Chains A and B, each alone.
Chain A
Amino acid sequence: MSSATGMGAGAARTRAALLAAPALVVFLAFWLLPMARLALFAGQGPSGIEAYWAVLAHPQYRASLISTILLSGLVTLATLAIGGITGVFLSRHHFPGHGLLAGMLTLPLAFPGVVVGFMVILLAGRQGVIGQLAAILGAGRPVFAYSMTGLFLGYLYFSIPRVLLTVMGAAEKLDPALEEAARSLGASPLAILKDVVIPALSPALIGAGALCFATAMGAFGTAFTLATRISVLPMTIYTEFTLFADMPIAAAMSLMLGAVTWAILALARQATGAGVAAAA
């Protein structure tokens, strides 16, 4: 597309290199090099290169991987259903305060995982409001913040806003003429949903689902605050690093996890064509 103006292409290329250099040097020095070192380091522990397969070989780590995948998968499905329905609904029904509600629903996007965990504690912890309500109704005082349910709720908490945002954005872009055409052919609202709306939203839904899954796989803060008994993979990695000082294993597992989340996000980018971020 662009050709240089001024003294010719050569000078322009030098200028470009100079301008891009600082960022790339920083990236090289503080990410590429350390990552390469990490990869090497992971293979230098007592188990050698086998450390990379530890997550699959070692039963304890495998269990952690499986529970992480199951949790992430369930959260993704639930979030797509809830976020999909709610997102389409909100994008079509504008009422006074609609903007405010949309803002409040996407506020949790800025929360670190620890705050999300705290939200779940407020709902379902020992002094949680759900427990207090249940006690008033005479149904005992359920405390489930620190169980799998609590973790699930926490993951749901940071996933729904992400999907909501994506779905609302995609729903806004839907061409109303398509639905009017379907209506002119006699289609009921349900038929329109099935034949027109969902197919049109499916790229966005797939992308959002992949993003949701990747974020859940790599989530640390929420589990850190909530999980005392269950171990998800990021927590396992963390424990290896701090408690057991088994750094090569921790390094290897974190690299594998990184590769998996990157792959899933690359897929998401294919589906939506936009950049995505995973952090919770």
Chain B
Amino acid sequence: MTGRRLLLALPLALAVATSAFLIVPVALSVLAGLSVNWQQGLAGGLTLHWIGEVWTLYADTVVRTLALAFATVAVDQLLGVPLAYVLARHPSRRARLVEELIMLPVAVPGLATALALIILYGGWHDFRGSSAFILVGHVLFTLPFMVRSVLAVLAAIDIATLEEGAASLGAGPMRRLLGVVLPNARPGILAGSLMVLTLSVGEFNMTWMLHTPLTKTLPVGLADAYASMRLEIASAYTVVFLLMIIPLLLLMQWAAPVRRRPRTTRP
């Protein structure tokens, strides 16, 4: 059975190596951010000093990133939920085209979208220098995810039949929207919102081009820190980022439906 054993041992070794490759640096960054001196490692002791430093230097980026993320979610909900509803109720070639269209800012590198925005709106200084400029980029990049998430839920519950049922009982369009569509779309809106939050918090490619010294976000700050700050501060800043992103990811897992592996029928 050595063939079988080898077939088990090699992938296992690879899986272990891959896991180490992906996880060890994260653990290291947490360690470095909390250690007094990275050169001395754990022997030098642990401290929250660097986190404090990070807060002094970069607190505004954290606040701005969170504000931007929630603003992006709000705008995405306002724009995306009605659009998803329309796409769900009127499936057609045109609907699929629209879906493809709004995916374009995702398929194309953020650099290109940012350049385009700068070329057209760069002259409008008030806009260019505000956080709203970055918000636009984030909305463009995250909208398709909100739409897809809501659309998936609406399609799965057959919203058309539900609305017909409500209409047969006398409910008009507005009432159906508020009383039937929205409540049933809620899981999709929730999952989509969490996804959008995560994407917005981690967005860099576009934001780097769109930002100004007065409108820095956390990833932008991270780039700064990696380039110019000592390892401990860069690591502590990364820890702050992880503290923001991990809860979001956990919430996303919790909000998503669980799927079990199909087994052959037993009886």
- Residues of A that sit less than 8 Å from B by CB: 1-2, 5-6, 12, 15-16, 19-20, 22-24, 26-27, 30-31, 33-35, 37-38, 41, 82-83, 85-86, 88-91, 101, 103-105, 107-108, 110-115, 117-123, 127, 129, 156-157, 160-161, 172-173, 175-177, 180, 188-190, 214, 217-218, 220-221, 224-225, 234, 237-238, 241, 247, 250-251, 254-255, 257-258, 261-262, 265-266, 275, 277-280
**Residue ID in chain A nearest B152 by CB atoms:** A275
Cβ of B71 under 8 Å from chain A:
no
Contact bitstring B1-20, A, C-beta under 8 A = 1, else 0: 00110010011101100110
| A34: contacting residue among B120, B141, B204, CB under 8 A | B120
| A interface secondary structure, majority | helix
Given the known interface contacts A19-B86, A38-B116, the answer about A123 and B249 at a Cβ–Cβ threshold of 8 Å is no
Instruction: Give chain A nearest CB distance to B233 CB in angstroms.
Output: 12
CA distance A189 to B8 in the complex (A): 10
Given the known interface contacts A6-B167, A114-B223, A221-B205, the answer about A82 and B18 at a Cβ–Cβ threshold of 8 Å is yes
| A177: contacting residue among B11, B234, B264, CB under 8 A | B264
CA distance A21 to B64 in the complex (A): 29
Q: Which 4 A-B pairs have the closest CB atoms?
A: A218-B109, A34-B116, A258-B108, A112-B204
Cβ of B185 under 8 Å from chain A:
no
Given the known interface contacts A16-B90, A111-B202, A254-B109, the answer about A104 and B116 at a Cβ–Cβ threshold of 8 Å is no
Cβ of B98 under 8 Å from chain A:
yes
CA distance A176 to B266 in the complex (A): 13
**Residue ID in chain B nearest A265 by CB atoms:** B107
A241-B209, A266-B107 given; 10 more Cβ-contact pairs under 8 Å = A6-B173, A27-B102, A31-B104, A38-B120, A123-B25, A189-B3, A214-B107, A262-B108, A279-B110, A279-B141
**B:63-95 near A, CB below 8 Å:** 78-80, 82-83, 85-87, 89-91
Given the known interface contacts A1-B160, A104-B22, A188-B3, the answer about A262 and B223 at a Cβ–Cβ threshold of 8 Å is no
Residues of B within 8 Å of A, CB-based: how many? 97
Contact across chains for A172 and B259 when beta carbons are under 8 A apart: yes
| B12: contacting residue among A24, A89, A247, CB under 8 A | A89
Contact across chains for A176 and B263 when beta carbons are under 8 A apart: yes
CA distance A273 to B124 in the complex (A): 41
Q: Which residues of A contact B125 (CB under 8 A)?
A: none
Q: Which residues of B contact A247 (CB under 8 A)?
A: 115, 119
Contact across chains for B109 and A118 when beta carbons are under 8 A apart: no
**Residue ID in chain B nearest A91 by CB atoms:** B261
Contact across chains for A122 and B25 when beta carbons are under 8 A apart: yes
Q: Which residues of A contact B38 (CB under 8 A)?
A: 127
Contact across chains for B15 and A218 when beta carbons are under 8 A apart: no
Given the known interface contacts A160-B22, A234-B111, A258-B108, the answer about A89 and B119 at a Cβ–Cβ threshold of 8 Å is no
Q: Which residues of B contact A89 (CB under 8 A)?
A: 11-12, 14-15
Q: Which residues of A contact B24 (CB under 8 A)?
A: 123, 129
- Residues of B that sit less than 8 Å from A by CB: 3-4, 7, 10-12, 14-15, 18-19, 21-26, 28-29, 32, 38-39, 78-80, 82-83, 85-87, 89-91, 98, 101-113, 115-117, 119-121, 136, 139-141, 143-145, 147-148, 160, 163-164, 167, 172-173, 198-199, 201-205, 208-209, 219, 222-223, 226-227, 231, 234-235, 238, 241, 245-246, 248-250, 253, 259, 261-264
Instruction: Give chain A nearest CB distance to B241 CB in angstroms.
Output: 7
Q: Which residues of A contact B18 (CB under 8 A)?
A: 82-83, 86, 105, 160
CA distance A177 to B138 in the complex (A): 45
Given the known interface contacts A86-B15, A121-B226, A123-B24, the answer about A112 and B202 at a Cβ–Cβ threshold of 8 Å is yes
Please, could you name 6 A-B residue pairs with CB atoms under 8 Å apart, sorted by A? A19-B85, A34-B121, A123-B25, A160-B22, A261-B107, A275-B148
Q: Which residues of B contact A22 (CB under 8 A)?
A: 78-79, 82-83
Contact across chains for A254 and B115 when beta carbons are under 8 A apart: yes
Instruction: Give chain A nearest CB distance to B214 CB in angstroms.
Output: 18
Residue of B15, B78, B139, B235 ringed by the most chain A CB atoms within 10 A: B15
CA distance A119 to B11 in the complex (A): 24
CA distance A22 to B77 in the complex (A): 11
CA distance A266 to B32 in the complex (A): 41
Contact across chains for B163 and A5 when beta carbons are under 8 A apart: yes
CA distance A176 to B261 in the complex (A): 10
Contact across chains for B110 and A190 when beta carbons are under 8 A apart: no
| A86: contacting residue among B11, B89, B262, CB under 8 A | B11
Q: Which residues of A contact B227 (CB under 8 A)?
A: 225
Q: Which residues of A contact B113 (CB under 8 A)?
A: 31, 34-35
Contact across chains for B25 and A120 when beta carbons are under 8 A apart: yes
Contact across chains for A127 and B39 when beta carbons are under 8 A apart: yes
| B205: contacting residue among A41, A90, A279, CB under 8 A | A279
Instruction: Give chain A nearest CB distance to B78 CB in angstroms.
Output: 7
